[in-house]
Amino acid sequence: MSIAAPADLRSTHSRGLWRGRLFVAALLLSLAVGFLALGTLVIDVVVKGIAYVDPVLLTNPPSSDPGIAGARPAILATLYLGVLLIAFTVPIGVGTAIYLEEYANKNRWYNRLLELNIQNLAAVPSIVYGILGLAFLVRGLGLGRVLLAGALILTLLVLPTVIIAAREAIRAVPGSIRDGAYALGATQWQVVWRQVLPAAIPGIATGSILALSRAIGETAPLLLIGALTYVSFNPTVMGPFTALPVQIYNWTRLPNPEFKALAAAAIIVLLAMILLLNAAAIWLRNRYQKRW
Amino acid sequence: MGIRPLILAGAIAAVALLPAGCGRSDTQGASAAGPSTTSSGAKLSGRIEADGSSTVGPFVTAAAEDFQAQNSGVQVTVGISGTGGGFERFCNGETDISDASRPIKDDEEVPVCQKNGIDYTEFQVANDGIAVVVNNDNDWAKCLTVDQLTKIWGPDSQVGNWNQVDPSFPDEKLTLAGPGTDSGTFDFFTKEINGEEDASRTDYQATEDDNVIVQAVEGDKGGLGYFGLSYFEQNQGNLTDVEVDGGSGCVAPTTATVQDGSYTPLSRPLFVYVKNTSLAKPEVKAFVAYLIDNQAQIAEKALFVPLTDEQAQKSKSDFEAGTS
Amino acid sequence: MATPAVPLPLAPARKRWGEVVIKGALALCALVSVATTVGIVIALFVPAAEFFGHVSFVDFITGTEWAPLFLQASFGVVPLIVGTLSITFWACLIAMPLGLGAAIYLSEYARPRVRGALKPALELLAGIPTVVFGYFALTFVTPLLRDLGLDVEVFNALSAGLIVGVMIIPTVASLSEDAMAAVPRDLRYGAYALGSSKLQVSTRIVVPAAVSGIVAAFVLGISRAVGETMIVLLAAGQQPNLTFDPRQAVETMSAFIAATGAGDVPTGSLEYKTIFAVGATLFVLTLVVNSVSIRLVRKYREVYE
């Protein structure tokens, strides 16, 4: 909760008062501009596409006829990708963060290199992950152009985000909490599992929300891995696949203007899906939010 | 507090499931062609994988839809890795059909197929034209000769103003937009206009996305761009097409002029390449037969230019030869 | 109470194998990122080395004309680097102040219920596919800039840069807000007790205390901006102009990689290998910037308790 300055301690000095007010105004302006820009986008999309959000979109396979075209295979595939993504990224990302913050000796060169490495990976363009996936997962490991390969590549793409967010969350847990637990005889893992992690859940949740949101909207690496533009049957984890952003991308490129409206409708569905997938994380975050 | 996002998502879902659909146009009716030409009568099953050009992709997709409607046991998938990307996969044995907006390259791609022992058959399935477009306010460039186009687009061209193209044109800045260097359309245009593939001036707005070309030309009175005919036909209000004089007078790009060859030199054939071992499979054979026999209806549905009778005959005989 | 004659050893009497296994498992998690980097390095640098067998490295690094896929090819990467810097600059100009401002408001000033609603809303907006952002920049922002009197071309760096900035605001804001929320309350109380105003507490106490997290947020934001492809492809055009003028079209390294990688170029050709050379350059550049930033953070980070 935010701390209100007690009334009698508030500065009555007029210059300080106005500076304070100006500051709040500036902050609100930042918030407003951010929301305005993003909001305009969403409203624009909603206006264009809401008429096309209907059961047909959700249950039909794609078609060249915009009257009956739907995005069912794409929606299901994105759902599977989202679930797999959470299942992979959270354990590996949080595990790495715990290792770096709690177990690794920070003075060792290889641990510092690891830190630099992770930060660097965050800047690699998504298409490079596509190339990586094609070379090592699709061809190297022989997985083929399957949904699982797509999920793995997206995992690698957003792992740095989760790791960095988790690290900051773990770092922010006060040392006194740890010391207290050690003083009571806890082992290192017990301290981490029972004290540090629960306290760090909000930050970890934020990281996973941002990561999931980004990954679900990615197109380029999936295209390279072999996401198809026409698939009329439901996806399986080890089968050919498409994804909602790929479907949207394909529809926007088609000349028929009706497909552009369908694309907007699909974007609305995509945003709803992100909200759904993130709902659990948001709930967890609100529940475990602590203020030291 | 955490329940709110769920409520919001639920609300969106509820709206979605309302029997609205008020935005959709009426469907264009039943599928374009008749039943497939399977002679055996047994139910077909299996998976067919097609990949390649993003230009030919919609054609194969339209065919796949209709084919699957009549043969529910068959699963057809279509990708758009690009003509080059499609050939790479094809010659690696990964796909059954490769869609291409240009013939397979003798120097770079054929050897790879040969090395991997992939024998294939080439079929022409449709025609395509490239439309040259200008801004709706452009009332001077109604017809351009091939020489004028070369003057504008040549590798060493410095032309920046319309009056440099022709003295009778007004003093208006020339803004160019077109496909990027990895597009089959680019390859074809540069070959026909500039005499050599990939030979082009480099200072134009290059993009893979036709919407962007439309935007660029629409936004500038002196804009000039080029892209596939089917795209233009669905966006005719926004831009004006230019008639091209290929040596026998000004010809406008239409389905008819592309098909009979009078819109020259910017008409090109579209191909599919099929692996011979795949062609031996009944479901693939039936699908390719469907493509070839019904190409006219598929072209009409997917807004491509159908084959001439002569070209259709050749494709049919190639098919007979390849499957005997 | 009897006092022990000899202090008891603090190490456990028995080695706890569970702890060892756990440490191993966690280290394995960390190795995933190492494996990723090794994979990227192999995937990028091996073909890049082949590329530099044909094109001189010096020409590549210092050349000012980038036209690798045309018949008369030219391989100077400087325009791409300048394009990347230009777009990233405008993105940061937008995202840093707005993101930090939003974060401060959410953390220090907003009521908990407001925060609980606005923060997820902001994060949801992070999920908008970048294609949408790209079209928005092209069809809305560019005409807007023209109406405002700026003589921008149809494709320009400013529109793309601004929209990339807007795209990373949720990342910057949300992570910064987390960092500020984690600052212990005692620090604020102490400052208030000394008579500080809310403005002073926010800017002089909370933000400096949260600098590690805020910098992490900025770094993540910048990294995303540098790696962004779709928005740049759609709004900045694909013209590798060597210019810092934001009104003209530019091409960034990431955009070039995306456009060429998904295109029609036969794999294995020299043109295709340009992707890897540019990718390797990008990797090295971000490595340099990141090591500098890590050093700076380590120097200025404040640790409490």
Residue carrying the six token digits 């354990």: A91
DSSP string, C137-183: IIIIIHHHHHHTT----SS-HHHHHHHHHHHHHHHHHHHHHHHHHTS
Among the residue ranges A23-37, B48-62, B310-324, C9-23, the one predicted with the least confidence is C9-23
Among B86, B55, B50, smallest CA distance to B183 is for B55
Q: What is the mean pLDDT of residues C63-74?
A: 77
Chains near B with 3+ CB pairs less than 8 A apart are A, C
**Which tens digits make up the pLDDT trace of C149-159?**
888 877 889 99
Task: Please tell me the predicted confidence (pLDDT) of residue C100.
Answer: 94
* Number of Cα atoms under 13 Å in the Cβ half of residue A120: 27
Q: What is the pLDDT of residue A292?
A: 64
* Beta-carbon separation of C263 and B184 below 8 A: no
Judge whether residue B113 has pLDDT over 80.
yes
Distance from CA of B45 to the nearest CA of C (A): 32
pLDDT at A210 > cutoff 80: yes
Contact B1 C67 (CB under 8 A): no
Residue A67 to chain C, least CA–CA distance (Å)? 23
CA closest to B6 among chain C residues: C120
pLDDT at B307 over 60: yes
pLDDT at C104: 93
Read off the amino acid at residue C248: Q
Asked if the Cβ–Cβ distance from C265 to B212 is below 8 Å, we say no
Find the closest chain C residue to B99 by CA distance.
C264
By the 8 A CB rule, do A151 and A82 touch? no
Which whole number is the average pLDDT over B286-290?
A: 92
Q: Which residues of chain B are within 8 Å of residue C238 when distances are taken between CB atoms?
A: 180, 205-207
Nearest chain C residue (CA) to B1? C116
What is the structure's pLDDT at B22?
53
* DSSP per-residue codes, C98-116: HHHHHHHIIIIIS-HHHHH
| CB atoms inside a 10 Å sphere around CB B256 | 11
Q: Please tell me whether the interface predicted TM-score (ipTM) of this complex is above 0.85.
A: no
CA C74 vs. chain centroid, Å, equals: 30
pLDDT > 90 fraction of chain B, expressed in percent and rounded: 15
Question: C79-83, C177-181, C266-270: which range is least confident on average?
Answer: C266-270
Write out pLDDT tens, residues A61-120: 888 888 888 889 999 999 999 999 999 999 999 999 999 988 887 788 888 888 888 888
Residue C103 has pLDDT above 70, yes or no: yes
Q: Which residues of A touch C192 (CB under 8 A)?
A: 3, 5-6, 9
Q: Do B27 and A68 touch (CB under 8 A)?
A: yes
User: Which one of B45, B61, B81, B88 makes the best mutation probe of the A interface by having the most chain A beta carbons within 10 Å?
Assistant: B61
Of the candidates A225, A80, C273, the one whose C-alpha atom is nearest the C-alpha of residue B94 is A225
Q: Which of C213, C211, C187 is nearest to C200 (CA)?
A: C187
Listed by number, the residues of chain B in 258-317 with a beta carbon closer than 8 Å to a beta carbon of chain A are 301-303
Q: Is C132 on the interface with A (CB under 8 A)?
A: yes
Per-residue model confidence (pLDDT) at position B306 = 87
Does position A1 have pLDDT exceeding 80, yes or no? Answer: no
> Mean of the pLDDT values across residues C153-169?
90
How far the first Cα of chain C sits from its last, in Å, is: 33
Interface of B with C in 68-127 (CB under 8 A): 81-85, 87-88, 105, 108-109
Segment B33-52 shows an average pLDDT of 67
> Does C260 contact B182 at a Cβ distance shorter than 8 Å?
yes
Report the SS3 class of residue B163: helix
pLDDT band (50, 70, 90) for residue C230:
confident
Q: Give the confidence band of C164 by pLDDT, cuts at 50, 70, 90.
A: very high
* Pair type for strands B120-135 and B267-275: antiparallel
Sheet-wide strand order for B250-251: B143-145, B243-245, B250-251
Contacts of A282 (CB under 8 A, 6+ apart): A205, A209, B2, B5, C120
* Residue of B181, B196, B205 lying closest to C249 (CB–CB): B205
φ, ψ dihedrals at A178, nearest 5°: -65, -45
Q: Do C69 and B182 touch (CB under 8 A)?
A: yes
Residue from A94, A119, A260 whose CB has the most chain C CBs within 10 Å, to mutate: A119
Smallest CA-to-CA distance from C218 within C46, C134, C97, C76 is with C97
| pLDDT over 70 (residue B322) | yes
**B:C CB pairs within 8 Å:** 99
Instruction: Report the pLDDT value the prediction gives residue A156, as an integer from 0 to 100.
Output: 93
Q: Do A253 and B6 touch (CB under 8 A)?
A: no
Note whether B139 contacts C: Cβ–Cβ < 8 A.
no
User: According to the model, what pLDDT value does residue A92 have?
Assistant: 94
Best residue of A45, A50, A54, A212 to probe chain B, by most B CBs closer than 10 Å:
A54
Closest partner residue to A66 among B22, B25, B81, by Cβ? Answer: B25
Say yes or no for a CB contact (<8 Å) between B5 and A54: no
Question: Which pTM does this prediction carry?
Answer: 0.82
DSSP structure class, residue C236: S
Q: Does any CB of chain A come closer than 8 Å to the CB of residue C32?
A: yes
What would the pLDDT profile of B197-256 be if each residue is shown by its tens digit?
777 887 788 777 788 888 888 878 888 999 888 778 877 888 888 888 888 888 888 888
As a whole number, mean pLDDT of residues A146-165 equals 91
Give the residue-averaged pLDDT of A20-45: 87
Q: Which chains touch A (3 or more CB pairs under 8 A)?
A: B, C
Torsional sign, CA C217, C223, C229, C235: positive
Q: What residues of B are in contact with residue C141 (Cβ under 8 Å)?
A: none
Residue length, chain C?
305
- Note the pLDDT of residue B48: 92
The answer to whether residue B237 neighbours chain A at the CB level (below 8 Å) is no
Give the model confidence (pLDDT) of B9-31 as tens digits: 555 555 544 444 455 654 444 44
**Which helix or strand (DSSP H or E) is residue B130 part of?**
strand B120-135
Closest-CA distance, B265 to chain C, in angstroms, reads: 21
Per mean pLDDT, which range of A19-23, B115-119, C44-48, C64-68 is the poorest? C64-68
**Mutating which of A30, A46, A108 best tests the C interface, going by the most C Cβ atoms within 10 A?**
A30
By C-alpha distance, the chain B residue nearest C249 is: B205
Span A233-281, pLDDT tens digits: 888 888 888 899 888 888 887 777 788 888 889 988 988 888 888 888 8
The two beta strands, B243-245 and B143-145, are: parallel
Are A131 and C173 in contact (CB < 8 Å)? no
Q: Chain C contact for B10, CB < 8 A? A: no
Asked if C128 and A217 come within 8 Å (Cβ–Cβ), the reply is yes
In the predicted structure, residue B146 carries a pLDDT above the cut 50: yes
B184 contacts in C (CB within 8 Å)?
264
For chain A, how many residues are written? Answer: 292
C-beta atoms of B25 and A228 within 8 A: no
Q: Is the pLDDT of residue C142 over 90?
A: no
Kindly state whether C120 is in contact with chain B, defined as any CB-CB distance less than 8 angstroms. yes
pLDDT at B34: 41
CB contact under 8 A, A230 and B57: yes
| Residue C137: per-residue pLDDT | 87
- From chain A, the residues in CB contact with C121 under 8 A are 35
Given a cut of 50, whether residue B36 has pLDDT beyond it is no
The beta strands (E) that lie in B151-292 are given as 175-178, 205-206, 223-228, 239-241, 243-245, 250-251, 267-275
- In which band, very low, low, confident or very high, does the pLDDT at A157 lie, cut at 50, 70 and 90? very high
CA A276 to chain centre: 12
pLDDT at B253: 86
Nearest Cβ partner for A228 among B5, B26, B79: B79
Please name every residue paired with B275 in a beta bridge, in sequence order, or none if there are none: B120
Q: Which residue has the higher pLDDT, B295 or C154?
A: B295
Least confident of A2-16, B101-115, B214-228: A2-16
